[in-house]
Structure 1
Amino acid sequence: MNTLSAPSQLRLVAIPRLAAGGRWRVEAMRSISEPMLLWFTKGQGRITVAGVTRGYTANNALFIPAGVMHGFEVGPQVFGTAVFFGRDCDVTLPAAPQHLRIREVSVQQELNLILDHIGREMDSDSPAHDRATRHYLGLLGVWVERQVARAAADAPPPDATRRLVVRFAALLERDFRSGMGVADFAAQLGVTPTHLTRCCKQTCGRPASALLHDRLIFEARKMLSETDMPVGRIADSLGFTSPAYFTRAFQHMTGKSPSAFRRSI
């Protein structure tokens, strides 16, 4: 018998809190191991998902599947809610990233109401509150599915440039620890490094090398702040040829040496 209990790792987090430990935690290229929905209710900025950069404003919803590389700006005027569905979530969700611009006030209110119900039930000790949470979570999945279907009816098919960069972003997320450079990734994609860089600049305004370095340095900062692993082992685990090269690259990107960054946390 299915008891319809809520996923154990489900969380609702205010978007400003995501950057509480440093804006690099949301702005650098990274991925997470669970699906996520970002619902922006105020402010604006840019978000890069799978190598494609777009602007976001209030009443934009961004769905990002697990394992998809992304990063977004969080200025002081940006507010909203991030929904982390948890690794064990079995609610039907899109397989690909989605950027939904919700213009109808009634549809905006519908999402706000669903999120409010989820939060209330998660915080409640009333009987069957976790089943209620699970049902509201299912309604959230339905809301996303309907908005994706509406958006797909009006969206042009992705062009060859965007398709290539999406493939590069997926490959980069899988193999960024391997020590491969842009030329290696380009070879796997069957294009030249120059062409790959040109396409990345068109879709996100940054060369392919910047996406690679950003992803590596985010992972390095995460390991430095959350583990006691020696700097040399971190460098090796991320595919750097030597600790000295890793230190130079890290300092160039962050303005601090790895050791100084660790001390500042």
Structure 2
Amino acid sequence: MSLFPDIRIVPFSRLTQGSRWRAEAMRSYSAPQLLWITKGQGRITVAGVTRGYGPHNAIFIPPRTMHGFEMTGQVYGSAVMFPGMADLELPDTPHHLRIRDGQVQVEITGLLDGLDRELTQKRAGARRAIRHYAGLISVWLERQIALAEDVTSVPVSARRLVAGFAALVEKDFRTAKSVAGYAADLGVTSTHLTRTCNQTCGRSASDLLAERKIGEARRLLADTRAPIKEIAAALGYASPTYFTRAFQSRTGTTPKAFRNAD
């Protein structure tokens, strides 16, 4: 058993657990996480904003923040999960950092390797060492954020709107709430919300909402034995038939076929 059961380092190869959709599906975690990418490229959408990533990118994702990967070929790196450690003073907002300084790259790699050794080897004083390594990683992140330049062309107002939308989706995607309902909560029109989502991530507001619902549907189909009609109801679909139609239009297969094949 780990000394800190909730603190863990997960190689990207394990994030997919044999199924690529597990990395690419929209989802969120209750714990903050830091992604350190060492090889490969693709795109990642965090809180409604899509950006390309490549080697030596560090991406911080706060808890309960909707996100999903798009991978091009093999991508290597690690995800560090930090639940239950409020004293680390981690950021409240997402950050995407491109680390160009070789010495800084070596520094974070060394910290992650040290944390991993303490988590797995359980040497004397490991509990204290784990906490200190986690603290040093948070300091590393804070310093890189302070040095980073905002290179995205997306206006701050647009990022704020889609982040608010993504946060509401994460809260209410299990209901039948429509894009119009989310737009009303945000004080904008559905047209403006969709236009802004297209600007920040190349998807409409309805696409983001559907991807989050289908991502959760895939997880429930793969990881539970709940009847399909119960999954449909739990995700706010009007009927199992409507759920099957929506699922198939997004995945190319029916819920039953997906469950049997996974």
TM band (smaller chain):
over 0.9
Q: In structure 2, what is the equivalent of residue 45 of structure 1? A: 42
The corresponding residue for 1:134 is 131
Q: Contact 2:154 / 2:199 at 8 angstroms: preserved in 1?
A: no
1:27 paired residue among 18, 24, 32:
24
The aligned length equals 261
2:174 is aligned with what amino acid?
A: R
Larger mean Cα displacement after TM superposition, 72-81 or 206-215: 72-81
**2:96 corresponding residue in structure 1:** 99
Pair 1:111–1:204, CA change in 2 (3 A): same
Compute the displacement of 1:16 (Å): 2.4
Shift of 1:28: 1.6
Aligned with residue 195 of structure 1, among 184, 189, 192: 192
For structure 1, which runs of at least 5 residues remain unmatched after alignment? Answer: none
1:80-95 → structure 2 map (5 Å cutoff): 80-88=77-85, 90-95=87-92
Query: Are residues 156 and 139 of structure 1, via their aligned partners in 2, closer, same or farther at CA, if it must alter by over 3 Å?
Result: farther
Pairs within 5 Å for 1:160-175: 160-175=157-172
User: Would you say the 8 A contact 1:29–1:69 is kept in 2?
Assistant: yes
Query: Contact between 1:33 and 1:67, CA under 8 Å: does it hold in 2?
Result: yes
Matched with 2:204 is: 207
Preserved CA contact (<8 Å) 1:42 1:58: yes
- Asked if the contact 2:37/2:57 (under 8 Å) is kept, the reply is yes
Quote the Cα distance in structure 2 between the aligned partners of 1:213 and 1:155.
Answer: 26
Unaligned 5+ runs, structure 2? none
Counterpart in 1 of 2:216? 219
> Which structure 1 residue ranges, 4+ long, deviate > 4 Å from structure 2?
152-158
Which whole-Å CA distance do the structure 2 matches of 1:156 and 1:131 have between them? 42
Residue 152 of structure 1 and its aligned partner are, at CA, apart by: 5.8
Equivalent positions of 1:154-165 (< 5 A) are: 158-165=155-162
The structure 1 residue matched to 2:109, chosen from 112, 116, 124, is 112
Cα deviation, residue 261, structure 1:
1.1
The CA distance in 2 between the partners of 1:74 and 1:153, in whole Å, is: 23
Q: Assess, with a 3 A threshold, how the Cα gap between structure 1 residues 88 and 229 changes in structure 2: closer, same or farther.
A: farther
- The two structures have a TM-score, normalised by structure 2, of 0.94
Are the structure 2 counterparts of residues 144 and 165 from structure 1 closer, same or farther at C-alpha, using a change threshold of 3 Å?
A: same
Please, which of 120, 130, 135 is the counterpart of residue 123 of structure 1?
120
Cα RMSD over matched residues? Answer: 1.9
Identity %: 55
Q: Distance in 2 between matches of 1:127 and 1:44?
A: 39
Q: One-letter code of the match for 1:68? A: T
TM, length-normalised to structure 1: 0.93
Distance in 2 between residues matched to 1:153 and 1:197, nearest whole Å: 24
Name which of structure 1's ranges 14-23 and 53-62 shifts more when overlaid on structure 2.
14-23
Question: Per the alignment, in what secondary structure is the counterpart of residue 140 of structure 1?
Answer: helix
